[in-house]
Amino acid sequence: MVTTGNPVRVGFFVLLLAWTCTVAAQGNVRPAIEGSNGKWVDALSRGDANGIAALYTETAKLLPANGDVVSGRQEIQKYWQGAITSGFKTVTLTTVEVESCGDTAYEVGTWTVPGEGGKVLDKGDYIVIWKLQGGQWKLHRDTWTTNTPAPGQ
């Protein structure tokens, strides 16, 4: 391995870069991502799978709980259309944490599918990797878990 420069200075630079990536632009990223989440939920409530898919990058991937990977915006639209057709109409998304570096950010959150009379139909956790494209944060990798036990557990 070839190294150049003082290892202490190089280490300091790496730490400074890491700190900058987690602190810089934090104030603007979380509200923007929460706004995109609001658009996602609104599109779902309208039954608009095309509107949902438009919030993803062209090369996005869904990694759904208990399902196969879904690749690309067109396939993501089909996935969400299937969910809408099966009766999925509302979800509550709660952002827990957001960190960013340049044009990439990640979000950790929780989701809940409410039912009638305050009943919770399902809930879980999610992680989204976001990409900044054309001044908008778009979902690039979207994965979630369910906290509902599998049948028989």
Question: Using one digit for the tens of pLDDT, what is the confidence trace for 18-67?
Answer: 445 544 445 589 999 999 999 999 999 999 999 999 999 999 999 999 89
Tokens for 28, please give them: 């603007």
Residue pointed to by tokens 């039912």 = 115
Question: Which pLDDT tens digit goes with each residue over 85-101?
Answer: 999 999 999 999 999 99
- Tens-place pLDDT, residues 130-140: 999 999 999 99
Query: DSSP string spanning 119-152?
Result: -EEEEEEEEEEEEEETTEEEEEEEEE---SPPTT
- What single letter denotes the amino acid at residue 134? G
Query: Which pLDDT score, from 0 to 100, does residue 107 have?
Result: 98
Residues in Cβ contact with 21 at an 8 Å cutoff, skipping those fewer than 6 apart: 99, 100, 101, 102
Residue found under tokens 């929780």: 110
Task: Kindly report the number of other CB atoms within 10 A of residue 100's CB atom.
Answer: 23
pLDDT at 28: 84
121 burial (CB, 10 Å; 0-12 / 13-18 / 19+) is middle
List of domains in the chain: 27-144 (3.10.450.50)
pLDDT bucket at 3, cuts 50 / 70 / 90? very low
Encoded tokens for 12: 């300091």
pLDDT tens for 118-132 read 899 999 999 999 999
Kindly report the pTM of this predicted structure: 0.81
User: pLDDT by residue (tens digit) across 63-79?
Assistant: 999 899 999 999 999 99
**Inter-residue contact 123 to 109 (CB < 8 Å):** no
pLDDT at 148: 84
> How many residues in the chain?
153
Token readout for 80 is: 């969400």
* pLDDT tops 60 at residue 11: no
pLDDT at position 151 over 60? yes
C-alpha distance from residue 52 to each of 70, 89, 94, 102, 112 (Å): 14, 12, 17, 24, 18
